[in-house]
Structure 1
Amino acid sequence: VFPAESHPRLSIMTPTRLLLGSVASSMVGFSLGALQGGQMAQLRFRAEHAHKMPDTTAGWYLYHKSKNYHAMQGGIREGFRMGFKTGIWSLVALSLESTVDRYRGSSDMFSTVIATLTVAGAFSLWHRFSLSTAARTAKYGLVFGLAYGGVQDLVGLARGRPIGYVEMI
């Protein structure tokens, strides 16, 4: 499926890089989703039970116990949801980056920028963003592509990988 690479990005072969990148972004997505989901579930619990606040010490103990249980359950649910989404979008971006590398015949920052801009556009279309929000998403995709691609090129240059635009200079 993947041709042999003489100089892989970050010195990691493409299938391994796709797996590691997707798993890492899924873990970050799970963490962020769990934090946000736990907070939202906690606030929802407080709003739903605001009319019947406890009066006794035992009642407050059970109230907080239930609130923490709901917060944990909401956090885990939202964490898995967000982790799955971020894992899929990063898998698409990394796969597209590898595909652009193969078709261009060179792996450098420009392939990363093309991949991140394409994924930002697809993300905007998927979520039906307005034109101004889609432009902002594209700007973030461009900045991320330049930064991530630049770091990859610096690491590759330090390890002796040929970088097309550097060799032209």
Structure 2
Amino acid sequence: MVSSLDPRNLNNSRINEESRQDQLEELKDDVETLKMESLNERLGLPPAFRVFSLAFTAAIVGSLGGMMHGWKTSSLRYLASNSHRLPTTYNGWFFYHKRKMYYCLKQGMIVGFKTGAKLGGFVGCIFAVEAGFDKLRGVKDFCNTMMAVCVPGVAYSWWHRMPRVQANDFIRKGGRIGIGFGLLEDLFQYIRGADVWYLRRLFGIQPRSLTERIRDRIRSDKNKL
């Protein structure tokens, strides 16, 4: 005879606990896999997600800054256009400020949307070009970041037909910003323990995380004592 299980004899709490443990182990494995795959990626993020995140953040910041600037300029513009017919009664001033608030809000949102779109698109273009240079050269360093800033700068100066002297100054400033930001990215890679090729080849610095270096330094100091 085939014996059947009685559900009343099953330990549901133990089964649920084992299921939770299995889920936690799978989650830990997924996190470790993702960490190892993104170890040598810039900022610890895959290229597509990194470009989208930075472009979206720049768009939000640009929208807020543009909205504040648009509100301020539209407020002055509204005052200048109505300075010859300012109200003289309490109700008149009430409706004046009400209409002014609606006008400033509308103009601020328009300016904020335009500024956010421009800044987000420009930042996204820079980091997309940087990811392209990373894949093309096969290494990730500050040179790719510098070129990623200079290439859109060249396109921007050509599109706006800047004079040669102004365009050269604009591109040089962008190149210096790109070098500075690229070195910061390389420093972050070094702290995370990712491979920074010129540190390894020129100075013999092997990729190790900063926490491991500090732990080894503390252990060596203890051994000396």
| Counterparts of residues 142-157 of structure 1 (less than 5 Å) | 142-157=175-190
1:122-154 residue CA offsets vs partner (Å, 9 max, x unmatched): 122222223343233213312221221111100
In the alignment, does 2:168 pair up with 1:130? no
Q: State the Cα distance separating 1:6 from its structure 2 match.
A: 6.1
Tell me: CA distance 1:9–1:123, structure 2 relative to 1, closer, same or farther (3 Å): same
2:71 partner letter: G
Q: How big is each residue's C-alpha offset from its partner over 1:1-44, in whole Å with a ceiling of 9 and x where there is no partner? A: xxx76611111111110110110110111011111111121111
Give the whole-Å Cα distance in 2 for the aligned partners of 1:106 and 1:58: 68
**Which residue does 2:135 correspond to in 1?**
102
Q: Residue 23 of structure 1 is aligned with which of 15, 38, 56? A: 56
1:117 maps onto 2:146 in alignment: no
Partner of 1:90: 123
Note the residue ranges of structure 2 that are not aligned, 5 or more in a row.
1-36, 203-225
Give the Cα–Cα distance (whole angstroms) in 2 for the partners of residues 104 and 6 of structure 1. 18
What CA RMSD, in Å, does the superposition of the two structures yield over aligned residues? Answer: 1.5
For 1:153, the aligned partner's letter is: D
Which has the higher mean CA deviation after the structures are superposed, 22-31 or 124-133?
124-133
CA contact (8 A) 2:38 2:45 kept: no
Which residue identity is paired with 2:143? F
Of 80, 97, 104, the match for 1:47: 80
Spell out, residue by residue over 1:68-106, the C-alpha distance to the aligned partner (whole angstroms, 9 max, x if none): 211111111110111011111111111100001111110
After superposing the two structures, state which structure 1 stretch, 96-105 or 126-135, moved more: 126-135
Gaps of 5+ in 1: none
Equivalent of 1:163 in 189, 193, 196: 196
Whether 1:66 and 2:99 are equivalent positions in the alignment is yes
After TM superposition, the structure 1 stretch with the greater mean CA deviation from structure 2, 88-97 or 128-137, is 128-137
1:7 match: secondary structure: coil
Identity of aligned residues (%): 28
Determine which structure has more spread, i.e. the larger CA radius of gyration: 2
Partner of 1:76 in structure 2?
A: 109
TM-score under structure 1 length normalisation:
0.91
Say if 2:126 and 2:152, in contact at 8 Å, map to a contact too.
Answer: yes
- Contact kept? 2:189, 2:196, Cα under 8 Å: yes
SS at match of 1:129: coil
